[in-house]
Amino acid sequence: MSRGNKRIPVYKLGFRKALYGAIPIVGFTWGLVFVYFGSSIAEGIVAAATMGILSFLTFFIIDYKVDYKRLMMLERISKNISKKRFEEVDDKTSSTNDELDYVIKKLVKSNRTVEREIQRLNRIENYRKEFIGDISHELKTPIFAIQGFVETLLNGALEDEKVNRKFLQKAMKNVARLIYLTKDLMEISKLETGELKSEMEEVCLYDIINDVVESLQDKAQKEQVNLFIEEMNQNLRVRADKSQLRQVLINLIENGIKYNVPQGSVRIELIPAEGPEKITLNIEDTGIGIDEADLPRVTERFFRVDKSRSRERGGTGLGLAIVKHIIEAHGEILKIQSEPNKGSKFSISLTRVDGGENIHGFDQEALSEIRK
């Protein structure tokens, strides 16, 4: 056992226990030999001492075998916890499941809990550091732009009718970008730390898609992009968080419009997926596409293939990161396929809760009858 940091090689507890065990045996032997058998004092002392030593050694060895290793293990675990050093401990508990085993098991359990908690806190801390670095970098661009426009206005441009309005509009555009950025930042940080939970309910998929498409029609028209929904069952219901699913669709369809070409299109379709409960929602565009090398990175926060194109359109590079987190929190899958200059297809899996009605909104059997 140890005192402070210095290890003392004597098993003090075992020594004490063996001593306490040997004392009654010495007394008993003395009584038996000296009083009962009437032997001499010398004989009594020899017999009592011999029995005392033998019983001391026996008790000490038994105790050493039974408890010493387990006590050492307890010491090692608690030392490791205090040094925040976590290692797998071999099971040295005995088969008897006594009180000492119970304490060891409890300590091993607390060791794992503390380890998990420290790892979680480290993860959050690293995330926080990285996040703050990313944010300050992203905030700098619009803040410096606003500063530049305001300074130019103050330095005389304010009197110039031709430019003052234009500069104020540009400053305002950057203010809007800051507002958009802050909103997305709040959302992504809550999603990434697991603070924002998905409230799952049964939702009508078509209603949400239709709603989002209607709200983005104006934007699509301005960009000369044709936005349309393929024929689908309007009663189909899925399990999802309504506002999060809406957000996913907005982000994906907005990207389809933003990274498109004039006269291009964004098509939303529903197709069957593996498993009776699953369906796949595709958002497919005929836009600029994404290079194969960039594909794995597009869901990283703040990643943009073409920073200037994305910024010019108010993009913060958080849209797809938010989509990925929401889809994962739903236990679903996001797949991206893309070809530069041809277009991109974002597919998300969804779980239906409507008992498997036809996804295209018409009865397949009736259709095949008509076709005959």
Binding status of residue 174 toward Mg ion by CB under 5 A: no
* Shortest distance (Å) from residue 306 CB to ligand ATP: 6
Closest to 211 measured CA to CA, from 161, 184, 245: 245
Task: Tell which positions 233-262 bind ligand ATP, by CB under 6 A.
Answer: 251, 255-256, 259
Binding status of residue 344 toward Mg ion by CB under 5 A: no
Q: Which is nearer to ligand ATP, 52 or 256 (CB)?
A: 256
* Shortest distance (Å) from residue 302 CB to ligand ATP: 8
Q: Which is nearer to Mg ion, 264 or 319 (CB)?
A: 319
- Contact with ligand ATP (CB under 6 A): which of 33, 51, 320, 327? 320
Binding status of residue 188 toward ligand ATP by CB under 6 A: no
Farthest-apart Cα atoms in the chain, separation: 129
Q: Running DSSP on this structure, what letter comes out for residue 330?
A: T
* Shortest distance (Å) from residue 213 CB to ligand ATP: 16
Closest to 230 measured CA to CA, from 205, 259, 251: 205
Neighbours of 301 (CB within 10 A): 24
Q: Which is nearer to ligand ATP, 44 or 343 (CB)?
A: 343
- Contact with Mg ion (CB under 5 A): which of 319, 322, 330, 346? 319
- Cβ 166 vs Cβ 151: under 8 Å: no
Binding status of residue 264 toward ligand ATP by CB under 6 A: no
Which segments of the chain are extended strands (E)?
2-3, 6-7, 201-204, 226-229, 237-240, 265-272, 278-285, 334-339, 343-351
Using Cβ positions, the residue closest to ligand ATP within the complex turns out to be 319
CA distance 305 to 323: 17
DSSP string, 177-208: HHHHHHHHHHHHHHHHTT-S----EEEEHHHH
Closest to 14 measured CA to CA, from 1, 28, 23: 1
Q: 315-335 burial, b for 16+ CB within 10 Å, e for fewer? A: bbbbbbbbbbbbbebbebebe
Only one of the segments 28-36, 208-216, 218-226, 311-319 lies at the binding site for ligand ATP (rule: CB under 6 A); that segment is 311-319
Contacts of 176 (CB under 8 A, 6+ apart): 314
Q: Which is nearer to ligand ATP, 29 or 344 (CB)?
A: 344
Binding status of residue 265 toward ligand ATP by CB under 6 A: no
* Shortest distance (Å) from residue 217 CB to ligand ATP: 17
* Shortest distance (Å) from residue 264 CB to ligand ATP: 10
Number of residues that bind Mg ion (CB under 5 A): 2
Task: Tell which positions 267-286 bind ligand ATP, by CB under 6 A.
Answer: 285
Count, in order, helices (H) and strands (E) of the chain: 10, 9
DSSP, collapsed to helix, strand or coil, labels residue 245 as helix
Binding status of residue 317 toward ligand ATP by CB under 6 A: yes
- Contact with ligand ATP (CB under 6 A): which of 318, 327, 348, 359? 318
- Contact with ligand ATP (CB under 6 A): which of 249, 305, 334, 359? 305
Using Cβ positions, the residue closest to Mg ion within the complex turns out to be 319
DSSP, collapsed to helix, strand or coil, labels residue 1 as coil
Q: Which two tokens stand for residue 214?
A: 């209607």
Number of residues that bind ligand ATP (CB under 6 A): 24
Closest to 358 measured CA to CA, from 257, 236, 245: 236
Q: Which is nearer to Mg ion, 105 or 309 (CB)?
A: 309
Q: Which does 305 bind (CB under 5 to 8 A by kind): Mg ion, ligand ATP, none?
A: ligand ATP
Give the binding site for ligand ATP (CB under 6 A): 184, 251, 255-256, 259, 285, 287-290, 298, 303-306, 310, 315-321, 344
Give the binding site for Mg ion (CB under 5 A): 255, 319
